[in-house]
A and B are shown apart, each in its own frame.
Chain A
């Protein structure tokens, strides 16, 4: 594991020795200075890692680089990303497609915008299924019912016939989480999944992610600028500042004894309860 100089490895680190994913990554967009430089991160299977930083620090860039989709936004990543023994950055688009959605899923920031407005929810589930399975969709439907129930969504056919425009943001986010789970990925990249939600829905989604992690042992890279949600959900936290990881360790340690000035500043900015 990588920690900034001077920080001891945590004695209570529960992770087994083989990481699920480990990366040393630089990434940026054409014609601009690199957004992240030599970011070193690793995650154990079943771990929830919080990636914290202000807006524009490159958190989403890291998620897109892991999926090798940076090029959509005109970006490019260099370095290495080892995932389950494979080097993602050297994989072909075809090989990478087999990983996206099957082994690594994305839960996005704006749930309504991430669902195609022209298609029903059912059609989009079917697409998620067909992307990686040649087995008939009818065989998946019973499991879809369980999956929807698991994220507290109604599983009746009327719900699947609805369009994204008819859903609330919270419901849409549950739909996307359920879609991310269709193929039981080993890793979920949750890119600020609660930032568009009100506080009650936020805590429901956080509870849902924690439960999925417990029950399915899915690792989650939880990207957020909200330290409180990170504290409640994550096992470990990495602080991203000016394109580098300035501090990384178990949540209890970072929150109790922040080393880097930027981490201290972040912690000091958490709104206190007025009473």
Chain B
């Protein structure tokens, strides 16, 4: 493994562990208001200051990281799973199954996904409980993001299908279930893993975009999306560089993912 990749993994792990340990690192919690000190500057008490409601920004960043960094992989897993079922079915069986699924993939890929997300999210009730909003956001991301992985897995399955060992397995009399589970899937594992890892930063960004527009995870639960939404107010940011902490963290995490997923896997 390249040193850069190892460093990126270590940094990402450290960020994630810090987010998981939010309860210990930021005992104040994400929702508690310190009314006597709104818009406070960074200090020993409030490492990143407080927001306009007097909530500890450091605590909100840690708890927000927990939400974004836990649920993006969950959404990525969901998208990869749905994509794998659709893509492998299309690539392996071919024929009309392939034709239908490939058209559906093209359709999903050609629709501008941000508008699709927005319109689907807009159809759903806006006034939902924070926890529900987390579930809805990531379920939506996972279910709408299947087409990318599906297309890659379709091509990979199609390629593996005509390999000699697949023919040999059938010539041996193996059942379709065995051929799929024993021969096709293990050979698709690297592609699946790459798709999963590639989807995570995509979904972190998608959540951030939705949150920025106020359609993501609902207050008072923090996520990178609604933390970034706070940066919309230019006056609040001007002269207060510590407010950019969520953005910096987002960029660092994106860079980490970029180094973790090696470029050669992209070409698969």
Contacts and interface: CB of A to CB of B under 8 A. Distances in A.
Mutual binders A and B:
yes
Interface string B196-210: 000000000000000
Contact of A114 (B161, B162, B165): B165
A135 interface: no
Interface string B166-185: 11111111110010001100
A128 B167 CA distance: 13
A131 interface: yes
Given A73-B162, A113-B163, A106 B175 contact: no
Contacts of B169: 116, 127
Given A110-B164, A113-B163, A113-B165, A131 B172 contact: yes
Q: Range of interface residues on chain B?
A: 20 to 34
B135 interface: no
A98 interface: yes
A69 interface: yes
A179 B173 CA distance: 12
Contacts, number: 73
A221 B162 CA distance: 23
A249 interface: no
A72 interface: yes
A114 B164 contact: yes
B187 interface: yes
A217 to B, nearest CB: 21
A110 B171 CA distance: 14
Contacts of A179: 172
Contacts of A131: 172-175, 178
A19 B14 CA distance: 72
Given A67-B171, A106-B168, A131-B173, A118 B187 contact: yes
A119 B182 contact: yes
Interface of A: 67, 69, 72-73, 97-102, 105-106, 108, 110, 113-119, 123, 127-128, 130-132, 176, 179
9 contacts: A73-B162, A108-B167, A114-B165, A116-B182, A116-B187, A118-B187, A127-B174, A131-B173, A132-B173
The 5 closest A-B pairs by CB, nearest first: A101-B173, A113-B164, A100-B173, A106-B171, A101-B172
